[in-house]
Amino acid sequence: MRALAAYLAAAALAALPALADPGDVEKGQKLFQQCKSCHQIGAGATNRSGPHLNGLFGRKAAGLDGFRYSKSFQRAGAGGLEWHAETLDTFLENPRAMTSGTRMSYRGLKNAKDRTHLIAFLRQYSDDPANIPEADPTAQGIDHDLDPAILALVGDPEYGAYLSGECTTCHQAAGGDDGIPSITLWPEDQFVVAMHAYKTKKRNHPVMQMIAGRLGDEEIAALAAYFKDLEN
Amino acid sequence: MTLNRRTFLSTSAVAAATLAAPMVRAQGKPRVVVIGGGAGGATAARYIAKDSKGDIDTTLIEPTRTYYTCFFSNLYLGGFKTIDEIGHSYGGLAAAGVNVLHDWAVGVDRDAKTVTLAGGGTLNYDKLILSPGIDFVDMAVPGWDISAQNAMPHAYKAGSQTELLKAQLKAMPEGGTFAMVAPPNPYRCPPGPYERVSMVAHYLKLNNPTAKIIVADPKPKFSKMALFQEGWNNHYEGMVDWVGEDFGGGNVSVDHAAMTVTIDDEVTKVDVANVIPAMKAGRIADIAGVTDGNWAPVNAADMSSKMDPDVYVLGDASQQGDMPKSGFSANSQAKVCANAVRGALTGSKVFPAKFSNTCWSLIETNDGVKVGATYEATAEKIAKVDGFISQTGESADVRKATYEESEGWYAGITADMFGAKA
């Protein structure tokens, strides 16, 4: 157990890229190929099945008029999420950790270095980075991967049922989602990733940061095990 | 490496629970009687009936057939909700297996373990849960007692009183004066009086813009004060005059025949007077002999009374420590209590207590704010762990999202209390 923890800590350190690595725009452009079928960028870019990505840095989530965003994105924007290198890095690593109900089917870019390149590429189409380098530096990716041991925990649904009392004061057990999202029938791994994103404050929302902040790994696993099967 | 919830639990939380052996009964099912069908009592009754799957005989005693929630009743005053939107029947609880008795509990014999009803019956219990809400302290505001509640409504138990206050608000003459006498701590819903001021101001701004609101307050400060005062300045400039303790707000008396409010010896003729007196636990807690002063002290781990291990007190009536007296708190406490009661009666697993609270308030259309915290049980009390509050100067988007969230919460908590609507 201790040896595993030491190994994981070492792995996490090794995954950190060199400080102030600006990312390689050309490599980023190649990586953008996988985004192109839905997102346009550059001169004349318009909204397609995804919003255009010009002027993305500093844009509020769900911030473009005329694009129909998911409820999840609208909530994230209303909650203060803005796109900068750090938030994009978290988002690109696993979009559903930040916005559980995004319509974007992309599963995420797991390699931190690749994210740095992609963000560097995207940065070209916001205000010139040379003019305001410190406002939105094309920062290096930070590895946000959740410890695989946490994802591997087997939750106890009976304990989850008890703990869920704290959730169902706001989130309807019957699955209604007016003003507050539904959390029933949520795939277990996505539930766990989202709760840990709140716990570590990568995902915005004061109530959820507070609630998740004191949930242990076992408790999050138990809740995930309970809600994944909860039907009215 | 295997990490498994069950093995983890067997060594920690459950170890403590299994020390208390389940109650052995010679005959019949164990019986739980719940008095009071609000956020605490309705939730406790529903969870015990639902989770015991019929193994516990659960009775709820609640005199009213339609429960009007105190939370969101200010939004009715402001015109954002209808009275029907904040009314709930007990049909969902009956469907969940709760025996719902529309009667008054008038006596508790803790030795015989019986509850007597105004209607004449007597109920036996193994565990008794009291969730009676609040009553008012006699003569807390000189000149006001319960016989004056039609001339000067408290509107702090929702329903007919709230409708009366709304009718009086509508009938105010142009440029008239609305007075509120705010209560001293501790009281139900700390931001409630100030959300009410906001909702009254919203109504007056639209319908009677030269009217004034004066608040006599015995406290030097109040919940979400900076947020409310910012909102009053932004939305209702010059309309609200808050007189706190420093300016004599605690030295107040009323004359309901003359319709005057006297604050620090200055007599003001008013058109509406909303008097919210000092509060105490609902009277049945006193009758049951589980109060110490105005409130009923409880153990934080399971909400059991410090006077009797077979009696539990939830919500506003309880004296538990750091949690505010709110519907959210009562609902949270009820679930901890239900888990403990079920464990004691049937031997089901008892998990460690966890509590939380969030209070949303509406200041003006789409201008919502919130405050919340998490709590844990210590040997002495329910103790605050962590909290947050909305900030002054937040964007309109954030405030709108906060309001929409409060509507989602309302749908959530009322479904949690009464069951999903049929």
Closest CA to B353 of B4, B19, B17: B17
Q: Kindly state the average pLDDT of the residues B210-239.
A: 97
How many whole angstroms separate alpha carbon B374 and alpha carbon B222? 20
- The answer to whether residue B58 is domain-embedded is yes
How many whole angstroms separate alpha carbon B108 and alpha carbon B112? 9
Question: Do B328 and B207 have their domain in common?
Answer: no
B228-251 pLDDT, tens per residue? 999 999 999 999 999 999 999 999
Cα of B303 vs its chain's centroid, Å: 16
Question: Do B218 and B259 have their domain in common?
Answer: yes
Question: Checking phi first, is residue B315 left (phi over 0); if not, alpha (psi -120 to 50) or beta?
Answer: left
Question: Do B266 and B333 have their domain in common?
Answer: no
Question: Do B116 and B234 have their domain in common?
Answer: no
Q: Kindly state the average pLDDT of the residues B52-77.
A: 97
The two three-digit tokens of residue A88, written as one number: 């994009």
Question: Do B162 and B67 have their domain in common?
Answer: no
User: Among the three residues B216, B249, B277, which one is the final residue of a domain in this structure?
Assistant: B277
Question: Do B314 and B263 have their domain in common?
Answer: no
pLDDT at B400 over 80: yes
Do you find a cis peptide bond into A95, omega within 30 degrees of 0?
no
Q: Kindly state the average pLDDT of the residues A72-89.
A: 88
Q: Kindly state the average pLDDT of the residues B328-344.
A: 98
pLDDT at A5 over 70: no
CATH number at residue B229: 3.50.50.60
Asked whether the beta carbons of residue A162 and residue B339 sit closer than 8 angstroms, the reply is yes
- The answer to whether residue B37 is domain-embedded is yes
Which residues from B are below 8 Å from A when comparing CB atoms?
1, 3-6, 8-9, 47, 51, 328, 331-332, 335-336, 339, 349, 351, 354, 356, 358, 370, 372-374, 385-388, 395, 397-398, 400-401, 404-409, 411-413, 415-416, 420
Cα atoms in the Cβ-side hemisphere of radius 13 Å centred on B50: 22
* Cβ within 8 Å of residue B19, ≥6 positions away: none
User: Among the three residues B225, B250, B277, which one is the final residue of a domain in this structure?
Assistant: B277
pLDDT at A152 over 50: yes
Question: Do B273 and B293 have their domain in common?
Answer: no
B297-326 pLDDT, tens per residue? 999 999 999 999 999 999 999 999 999 999
Asked whether the beta carbons of residue A180 and residue B339 sit closer than 8 angstroms, the reply is no
List, in order of start, the domains of chain A with CATH numbers: 2-123 (1.10.760.10), 148-227 (1.10.760.10)
Closest CA to A74 of A145, A177, A223, A194: A177
Question: Do B270 and B154 have their domain in common?
Answer: yes
Question: Do B163 and B247 have their domain in common?
Answer: yes
Neighbours of B125 (CB within 10 A): 22
* Cβ within 8 Å of residue B378, ≥6 positions away: B300, B321
What's the confidence (pLDDT) of residue A147? Answer: 85
Residues of chain B positioned with their CB less than 8 A from the CB of A77: 397
pLDDT at A126 over 80: no
B144-173 pLDDT, tens per residue? 999 999 999 999 999 999 999 999 999 999
Q: Find the range with the poorest average confidence among A149-153, B50-54, B86-90.
A: A149-153
DSSP letters for B294-346: TBEEB-TTT-BBSS-TTEEE-GGGEE-BS--B-HHHHHHHHHHHHHHHHHHHH
The total number of structural domains in chain B stands at: 2
Most confident of A11-15, A107-111, A210-214, B56-60: B56-60
Asked whether the beta carbons of residue A210 and residue B400 sit closer than 8 angstroms, the reply is no
User: Among the three residues B228, B258, B277, which one is the final residue of a domain in this structure?
Assistant: B277
Closest CA to A91 of A199, A208, A197: A197
pLDDT at B391 over 90: yes
What's the confidence (pLDDT) of residue A180? Answer: 84
Question: Do B271 and B302 have their domain in common?
Answer: no
Question: Do B151 and B258 have their domain in common?
Answer: yes
Cα dihedral B127→B133→B139→B141 (10° resolution): 160
Question: Do B184 and B261 have their domain in common?
Answer: yes
Residue A218 has its nearest CB partner, among B8, B404, B409, at: B8
Q: What is the value of ipTM here, to two decimals?
A: 0.80
For residues B100 and A103, the model is more confident at: B100
- The answer to whether residue B416 is domain-embedded is no
A164-200 pLDDT, tens per residue? 999 999 998 887 777 788 888 887 887 898 899 889 8
Q: Which domain holds residue B257?
A: 142-277
